[in-house]
Structures are given as C-alpha cells and as structure tokens.
Structure 1
Amino acid sequence: MSTLDTSWLRAWSELGLAPPAGLFEQLIAAYQEPQRHYHSLQHLIECLTHFEHAHHLAEHPGEVAVALWFHDAIYDVRGKTNERQSADWAIRTLAACKADQATLERVEQLILATKHDATPIRPDEQLLVDIDLAILGARPQRFAEYDQQVRAEYSWVPGLLYRMKRRSVLKSFLARPSIYSTSYFRERNESQARVNLSGIVGPIS
C-alpha cells in the first residue's frame, strides 16, 4: 500500500469518520494540476512521510493528517486566497461527514497556519507548519530542485522582480531565531535549512 493510501485510511480512521466517495481521487487530481511544479503530489507525499515519522507528536493526529491533505488542495499561482479556499473545502467536507465543531475549527486553523504569516502557537499548528517547511532543510540536491520548482510556478514573474521577492521571503525565514517551532524538526532540519537559505540570500548580519 502506498504512502498516500496508508495516510488516507489512517487519517479518517483517527477522525472516526468515513470520507466521501471519490474525494481521495479528487485531491490526487488537484495535486497533479499542470500549473503545479512544487505544490504538487511530490510535496504532498513528502509532507505525509514527514508526518508518518512525527505522528507521535500530534495531539489530534487525524486532524493534522487531513489538514495536510487539504493544505494545498487549491493552488492558483496568481491567487491570494489559496489557503482560505483550501480550508473552506476541508471544512465543507468534514461538516458533511458530521465532524464536530471543535474539529472543524482546529482543521481550519491548521490549514490557515500554512500561510506562514504568523508564528504558530498551538502544538499541532507548530507541527504542521514545520512539516510544510521541512523542504527548507532538505538535502542540497532536493533543495536545489525545490528552488527550481518554485521558480517554474512563478515563471510569469520577471527575473529581477522574482529574485528580489524570493530573496525577501527566504531572508525572513533565515532571520528568525529558529526556523522550526518543534524540537523534533529543529534537531533534524534547522542547521541544513540555514545552510540552504544562506546559499541563496547570503548571511544575515
């Protein structure tokens, strides 16, 4: 059984809910849309694999898993509300499956946390955001591939503007006291992430 199949079945079992027929296939199709180069099925599988190893850290593992499945479900390369739309899809789905209100609220916040516009506070949000950012601490070859994939998604942005904006985003991560919120990912990814990011933005004075 593949990582995708295993994760899917486990997530819904831990939620104590039954997924709608065809939803698995809809999400797989979404992650294979042609405009995706990084926010693709490869990224989803990498996130789910990281979670498989860090599953024991989750307070509500089924919610973290389903949030990972939906966190990039909507991806418009020019869009400003991808996370909001992805969260809305997840909430509609879970509500139709009779999930309780607390679950709906937590999953919504988990997905919105992947906007990376604020430091996550709740443990499950910290874990999910660290999983989403694990790519920053990937081995150099994979990080270089990731950097190329992101550029491909923004191929419509002129080179000079792209490099300026991209450097600003990555510099903001590098400027943090710690890129990762959980000790698990700090121990495994922090040092390499700083090497990878410094290679693009240079050292932070």
Structure 2
Amino acid sequence: MKHLESHFIELYSKYGTDNKLIKQYWTALKHQYLSNGRYYHNLHHIEAMLTELEAVKEMLVNIDLIWFAVFYHDVIYTPQSNSNEEDSAIYARERLINTSLNNKQIDLIVALILATKKHELHQESDFNYLVDADLSILGKPWEDYLQYTKNIRKEYAIYPDIIYLSGRRKVLNHFLAKDQVFKTHWFQERYEEQARANIARELALYRCVRIDPLNNT
C-alpha cells in the first residue's frame, strides 16, 4: 500500500505543487478501491498492473500518462454498470485538470482508460501494453487464475449462476476466438499459452457441473 501511495504522490507531484490536494486525491482513490465488494478490482490489481508495466517501461512512449491511466482505470466499478470505464475516465479528468497536464495529455489518459473496456488492438503501442497488463492475470499459473475467477464471482454475487455463467462463458469464448489474447509480443511470449489453457480449463468446469463450480472447487 505504501508503495502505491508513494508512486501516486510522486507521479502527481511532477504535474502539481498542491501537496494537500494530491494527498486528498490519493485518499479518495484508495477509498474507492478499498470499498466493499471489490474482491479483484482493488489495489492489488493496480499494483499487479504497475509491476507488469514496470518490466516493459522502456518500450512505453508516454509512461507517466500510462501510470495515471492505471491508477484511474477502475476507480469507478459497479458490476451492474456498463459504463464503469466511462465513469472512471470522467472521474480522472475532473482531477487531472487541476494539474499542469495539457488537454492533449489528459485526452490521451482518458482514451487509455476507455481502452480497458474492450481490450482491442490499437495502432499506438502504449494502448496495447496497457490492456495486456490489464489482462495479465489470464496467463498466470492455474492456482492464481482460479482465485481470480472466484474473486470475480464474488463481485458479481448479485447475479444467480444461470445469469452469471452465461455471461462468463460469452466473455471466455470471446477471448478464445481471437487469434491472440494479448496484443504485444512481450505479453504473448510470456502469457499467451497459459492464458488459453486457463480459459479452456475454466470453461470445462462449467460443462462438468450445473451448480457454480467456483464455489465448490
């Protein structure tokens, strides 16, 4: 947690001198990510993304703008909503206008945040590295991946299995239908094979049982 706070404050301090305001922004951000019901889309996810991108930072063009996008991309998160990314982008813009970032830079941060909604291939490499980092959990060892699926299910606990599993299958099959889950060579080399194996294995769980397999594994 302290590492994230230091990173956030150091980043903001490059573009603003109001330390009190920066700390207020961090406190508000932390409150959002620590709110009840966030079992996956929390500060651990933010930290994991920062770690992934740190490994490829020499390949990033606008690294500070990407850091801002990481911190804010899930700041608004309600499982029932279809506009989390848009709402997160608005939240970010309202705070970034109080920095020395120019409109073009803020627009780019907003665009990066919005890119995490559909995770599509982009002509600018920064976008591809960001969305790959966002999806990196898919390529982790099975035990980590399984815990991720359980945490996601908890976030969507409001929905009964018949609705949740239908939507989950659709998402997983969408990934498998792609030529590549990951957009960049670096992430493909590291995670592609394991991601496809994990996704196929999760789908197999749903074919084997009628009740929610994630609560009985």
Query: Same-fold call, TM > 0.5?
Result: yes
The count of corresponding residues between Structure 1 and Structure 2 is 200
Deviation (angstroms), 1:145: 0.4
Q: How does 1:1-205 map to 2 (within 5 A)?
A: 2-12=2-12, 16-18=14-16, 20-21=21-22, 22-116=24-118, 118-202=120-204
**Is 1:12–1:62's contact at 8 Å kept on the other side of the alignment?**
no
% identical equivalent positions: 31
CA distance, structure 1, for counterparts of residue 182 and residue 9 of structure 2: 28
Deviation (angstroms), 1:41: 1.4
Q: 1:190 to 1:184 in 2, by over 3 A?
A: same
CA distance, structure 2, for counterparts of residue 6 and residue 117 of structure 1: 28
Deviation (angstroms), 1:34: 0.4
Q: Aligned letter for 1:17? A: Y
Give the RMSD, CA atoms, in angstroms.
Answer: 1.7
Runs of 4+ in structure 1 off by over 4 angstroms are none
**Unaligned segments of structure 1, at least 5 residues:** none
CA distance, structure 2, for counterparts of residue 174 and residue 92 of structure 1: 37
TM score, norm. by length of structure 2: 0.86
TM score, norm. by length of structure 1: 0.91
Q: Deviations over 1:52-101 (max 9, x none)?
A: 21211210000000100000000112111110111111112111113111
**Is 1:7–1:48's contact at 8 Å kept on the other side of the alignment?**
no
Q: Aligned letter for 1:4? A: L
Q: Aligned letter for 1:122? A: E
